């Protein structure tokens, strides 16, 4: 049995407890911070999921027919055309910048195959690379049993080597804590030319873990997010492997 089989089969209840919550918290500009510690969710594995779909207004926009010329059309619903190759294919990737208590810094992301580790530093693990926006999306696990070893995290989304199209997608990042309601953050702000977005941060401040909504779009990639948040890493051009994990 592989490592990931063990997580999903042998410990599925731990990961599913957050998703079973009957309610959720939406982080917005007005309500941008939630304490994992105060809601008793600062232990276990925090599951972070990215999912997205194309906005319906961009999926084969139907031709508008004059009602005066064709009055019967008023009783017929518009047909939404299927996704075609003429549309922009969007490949959103989920990543995480980390800084540990001992000063270690780095990134977990599909680009460069930096998938991280869950039970060893950095205690952040990317489960795979979803290149088609499927129902499962992309998922990062954060081991909060090692919260004392984590200083801060920044979870971000970027478009890999494609036309900027954040304004054509409806993307949602959902956090599933080990206890309490799930936490949802929608990337609903229009940023047509942006290639990356800082979604949320987690900070360990005097033993309290807090989640803060960021939702800051930038026109560059990870290096620009690094400068914005002062990580100080060295960046170079990277590529994905031909098959996602």
The first and second tokens of residue 223, run together, are 């290096």
pLDDT value at 240 more than 70: no
DSSP string for residues in 185-233: EEE-S--TT--EEEEEEEEEETTEEEEEEEEEEESS-HHHHHHHHT---
* Per-residue pLDDT at 84: 34
- Rounded CA-CA distance 240/231 in Å is 23
* Per-residue pLDDT at 78: 37
C-beta separation of 181 from 24 below 8 A: yes
Residues 6+ apart with CB under 8 A from 24: 174, 181, 182, 183, 184
pLDDT value at 73 more than 90: no
- Rounded CA-CA distance 116/108 in Å is 6
Question: Average pLDDT, whole number, for the chain?
Answer: 76
pLDDT value at 160 more than 80: no
* Per-residue pLDDT at 111: 83
Segment 137-152 mean pLDDT: 94
User: Which H helix or E strand runs over 4?
Assistant: helix 3-5
Residues 6+ apart with CB under 8 A from 132: 91
pLDDT value at 135 more than 70: no
Segment 193-201 mean pLDDT: 93
When mean pLDDT is compared across 77-81, 157-161, 163-167, 170-174, the lowest value belongs to 77-81
Residue with tokens 């952040």: 124
- CA distances in angstroms from 15 to 87, 133, 197, 218, listed in the order given: 35, 21, 26, 32
pLDDT in tens, 202-215: 999 999 999 999 99
Q: For domain 13-56+87-229, give the CATH number.
A: 2.60.60.30
pLDDT value at 173 more than 90: yes
Residue 60 confidence class, pLDDT cut points 50, 70, 90: very low
Nearest partner of 239 among 98, 86, 48, 91, judged by Cα: 91
**CA 127 to mean position of chain CA atoms:** 12
- Rounded CA-CA distance 4/56 in Å is 34
pLDDT value at 139 more than 70: yes
pLDDT in tens, 89-126: 677 889 999 999 999 999 999 888 899 999 999 999 99
pTM given for the model: 0.75
* Per-residue pLDDT at 75: 40
C-beta separation of 129 from 112 below 8 A: no
């Amino acid at each position: 049995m592989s490592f990931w089989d063990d997580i999903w089969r042998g410990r599925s209840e731990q990961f599913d407890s957050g998703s079973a919550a009957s309610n959720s918290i939406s982080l917005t500009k007005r309500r941008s911070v939630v304490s994992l510690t105060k809601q008793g969710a600062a232990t276990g594995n925090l599951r972070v999921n990215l999912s997205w779909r194309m906005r319906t207004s961009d999926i084969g926009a139907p031709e508008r027919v004059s009602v005066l010329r064709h009055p019967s059309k008023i009783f017929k619903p518009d047909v939404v055309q299927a996704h075609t190759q003429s549309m922009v294919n969007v490949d959103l990737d989920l990543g995480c910048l980390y800084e540990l208590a001992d000063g270690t810094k780095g990134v977990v992301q599909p680009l460069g195959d930096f998938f991280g580790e869950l039970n060893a530093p950095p205690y952040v693990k990317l489960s795979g690379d979803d290149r088609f926006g499927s129902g499962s999306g992309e998922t990062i696990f954060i081991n909060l049993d090692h919260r004392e070893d984590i200083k801060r995290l920044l979870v971000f989304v970027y478009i890999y080597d494609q036309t900027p199209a954040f304004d054509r997608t409806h993307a949602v990042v959902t956090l599933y804590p080990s206890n309490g309601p799930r936490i949802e953050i929608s990337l609903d702000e229009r940023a047509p030319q942006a290639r990356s977005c800082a979604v949320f941060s987690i900070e360990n401040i005097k033993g309290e873990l807090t989640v803060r909504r960021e939702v800051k779009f930038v026109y560059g990639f990870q290096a620009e997010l690094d400068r914005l948040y002062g990580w100080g890493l060295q960046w170079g051009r990277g590529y994905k492997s031909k098959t996602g994990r």
